Amino acid sequence: MLKILIVAATVQESAFLISKKTKKSSSHLIPITVNKSIQVDLLITGPGVVATTFGMTKTLENNDYQLAINIGICGSLDKTMRPVKLVNIVSDQFGDFGIEDNNEFVPAFSTGLFPNQSGIHTKGVLKSTNKLNISSLKAIPKRNGITVQKVHGSAKSAREAYNRYGPVMESMEGAAFFYVANQYRIQSLQIRAISNMVEKRNRKAWKVEDAIDALAGYVSLLLLDLQSLK
């Protein structure tokens, strides 16, 4: 049986997976009813790097999974990828973890302070490690991501992020998810729906509910694909 862990930051981003009869445990690990061919648990960590790292570590210390899937919404620095498109984040990195050297930002993993660690590539890039042949993944584009503790909300900071990382997707959890999954050597996927453009903050222009609806439809298809794997 394929055992799958779905990781979401908030109830809002994952409520479509939770039946009304299901009660959350104290660890926020919720069993999801699918069928007998796969076992799916939903972990709601809370938003951000720290909560994601803690929640996943606690869960993976006590449970074995073959695949971990991070789901949620994200912002886009790519003008060709607008709300409410879906993306397969194949690489991610900590976008504001580093040091200031006068007016220059130096990513932490470029400082030479960190020993070589499993799953961490040049300049701290972390990658999806999924090797399963999942046909529905072919339906959505692959994109790179950055994970931040302070989301960009001004034209100036958005431009700086674009100049540093290019047309990436932005979240507050993705790199932490990849980091922990890679350390536990669990295959990983990160699927997100774009809720907003990364620009001067304009909450009225965000399409959070539409993005979550798009995410719900795709995750249902993804789980059907996973049920068919042998």
* Residue 104: its H or E element: strand 104-107
| Domain that residue 193 falls in | 2-228
User: Residues 81-90: pLDDT tens digits?
Assistant: 999 999 999 9
User: Residues 177-198: pLDDT tens digits?
Assistant: 999 999 999 999 999 999 999 9
Domain count, the chain: 1
- Backbone φ and ψ for 25, nearest 5 degrees, come out as -80, 170
Residue 37 is encoded by which pair of tokens?
């061919």
pLDDT for 213 beyond 70: yes
Where is pLDDT greater, at 54 or 102? 54
Question: What whole-number distance in Å separates Cα of residue 131 and Cα of residue 154?
Answer: 38
The closest of 71, 55, 53 to 183, measured between CA atoms, is 53
User: Residues 145-170: pLDDT tens digits?
Assistant: 999 999 999 999 999 999 999 999 99
pLDDT for 25 beyond 50: no
CATH number at residue 214: 3.40.50.1580
Q: CA distances (Å), 208 to each of 6, 48, 72, 86, in order?
A: 20, 17, 10, 13
What is residue 216's predicted lDDT score, i.e. its pLDDT? Answer: 98
Beta bridge partners of 107: 98
> How many residues does the structure list for the chain?
230
pLDDT for 200 beyond 90: yes
Beta bridge partners of 45: none
Look at residue 168 and give its three-state secondary structure: coil
